[in-house]
Amino acid sequence: MDTNTEKLRLVTLLEAAQMLSVSKRTLERQIAGGAFPSPMKIGRSVRVSLADISAYLLRLEQRRGCAQGGA
Q: How confident is the model at residue 64 (pLDDT cuts 50, 70, 90)?
A: confident
> How large is the greatest C-alpha to C-alpha distance in the chain, in angstroms?
47
What's the pLDDT at 2?
Answer: 60
Is 46 in contact with 13 (CB distance < 8 Å)? Answer: yes
What's the pLDDT at 22?
Answer: 97
Structural domain span for residue 16: 3-70
The tally of domains found in the chain comes to 1
What's the pLDDT at 13?
Answer: 97
At 1-58, the pLDDT tens digits run 566 666 689 999 999 999 999 999 999 999 999 999 999 999 999 999 999 999 999 9
CATH code at position 58:
1.10.1660
List % helix, strand, coil for the chain (3-state, nearest 5): 60, 15, 25
